[in-house]
Amino acid sequence: MNIFGKFITGIVATAVTAIAPAMAAEPAVDAIQKRGSMRVGMSTFVPWAMRDKKGELIGFEIDVAKKLASDMEVDIEFVPTAWDGIIPALLAGKFDVIIGGMSITEERAKTVDFTEPYAHSSLGVMANKKVAESLAWPDGYNSTDVTFVCRRGATPCNYIQTEFPKAQLRQFDDQGQTLQEVLNGNAHAMISSQPLPAHTIFDNPEIVFSPTDEKIDPGNEAFALRKDDPDSLEYFSNWIMENTKNGFLDERHQYWFGGRDWADQIAE
């Protein structure tokens, strides 16, 4: 073989070696079945996922993930993960799927694949009465004198930066700390997925209020998977469509989002 032929052969061999790992990637559903357990990436966020008085995980997405694992006849392992690092952790193989109330966005879709939606929600705003009651919504909140808070890496942070570019924005990893900043008057307002703002206002009507009744940035939530896994994407999407049709997802969503019958299960 001449030098040119060896050169071409080397290029082809290198390309095949580089492509092989991607081609050999095992579909998540197959890995789950072989392992006998499904590893779910999630982050605590009321009422999607939270700890009860015994320290056990409860919430809408917990019910969804447990039902999915049961239908697959496998065990389940929840992997609590900081929200701003949850997609990198998925890509690194820390778990098989994100079931964590993740909104479908164009930016996220560049990195992960989304199933059919399994939930539909919107954002809500909660403001501190003492420091924000005199502000008109929304123009009065777009000021350098106003401070918003949000959970780091979550959709509301991007919304605040886009809609209120003049306002100060502080981000926290812990949702409880985000809430407390507004309750203590250290921040004017918080934008977050409903029903957390509505529930917090209901529990603390003398401290916080909503400056608007409008639905903010309605969206869809879906499971997130690593890219180039069409078999798993189809399997999970079919499961979602079937459990939408049979009413399971609506019933569980209504329980967790439509009322507070579960409130006595968690610590105050």
Cα 186 from Cα 104, distance rounded (Å): 31
- Flag whether pLDDT at 152 surpasses 70: yes
**Percentage of residues in the chain having pLDDT higher than 90:** 78
Ramachandran class of 55: left when φ > 0, alpha when ψ lies in -120 to 50, beta otherwise: left
**Average pLDDT in the 193-208 region?**
92
**Average pLDDT in the 197-221 region?**
92
**Average pLDDT in the 1-22 region?**
44
Predicted confidence at residue 267, as pLDDT, reads 77
Cα 33 from Cα 71, distance rounded (Å): 12
User: If DSSP codes are grouped into helix, strand and coil, which group holds residue 178?
Assistant: helix
Predicted confidence at residue 38, as pLDDT, reads 98
**Average pLDDT in the 245-263 region?**
93
- Flag whether pLDDT at 19 surpasses 70: no
- Flag whether pLDDT at 20 surpasses 70: no
Quote the mean pLDDT of the chain.
Answer: 90
CA 28 to chain centre: 19
- Flag whether pLDDT at 40 surpasses 80: yes
Residues found in the chain: 268
Q: How confident is the model at residue 50 (pLDDT cuts 50, 70, 90)?
A: very high
Predicted confidence at residue 24, as pLDDT, reads 46
Q: How confident is the model at residue 6 (pLDDT cuts 50, 70, 90)?
A: very low
Model pTM?
0.77
**Average pLDDT in the 32-51 region?**
95
Tell me the CATH number of domain 26-118+222-265, given options 3.90.1150.10, 3.30.470.20, 3.40.718.10, 3.40.190.10. 3.40.190.10
- Flag whether pLDDT at 235 surpasses 90: yes
- Flag whether pLDDT at 25 surpasses 80: no
- Flag whether pLDDT at 3 surpasses 50: no
Q: Residue 143, class by beta-carbon neighbours within 10 Å (0-12 exposed, 13-18 middle, 19+ buried)? A: middle
**Average pLDDT in the 70-88 region?**
96
Predicted confidence at residue 1, as pLDDT, reads 52
Q: Which CATH architecture has domain 121-218?
A: 3-Layer(aba) Sandwich (3.40)
Predicted confidence at residue 119, as pLDDT, reads 95
**Percentage of residues in the chain having pLDDT higher than 70:** 91
Nearest to 237 by CA among 97, 48, 135, 138: 97
**Average pLDDT in the 79-86 region?**
94
**Average pLDDT in the 238-259 region?**
95
Predicted confidence at residue 268, as pLDDT, reads 67
Q: Where in the chain is the domain with CATH 3.40.190.10?
A: 26-118+222-265, 121-218
**Average pLDDT in the 222-248 region?**
98
Q: How confident is the model at residue 56 (pLDDT cuts 50, 70, 90)?
A: very high
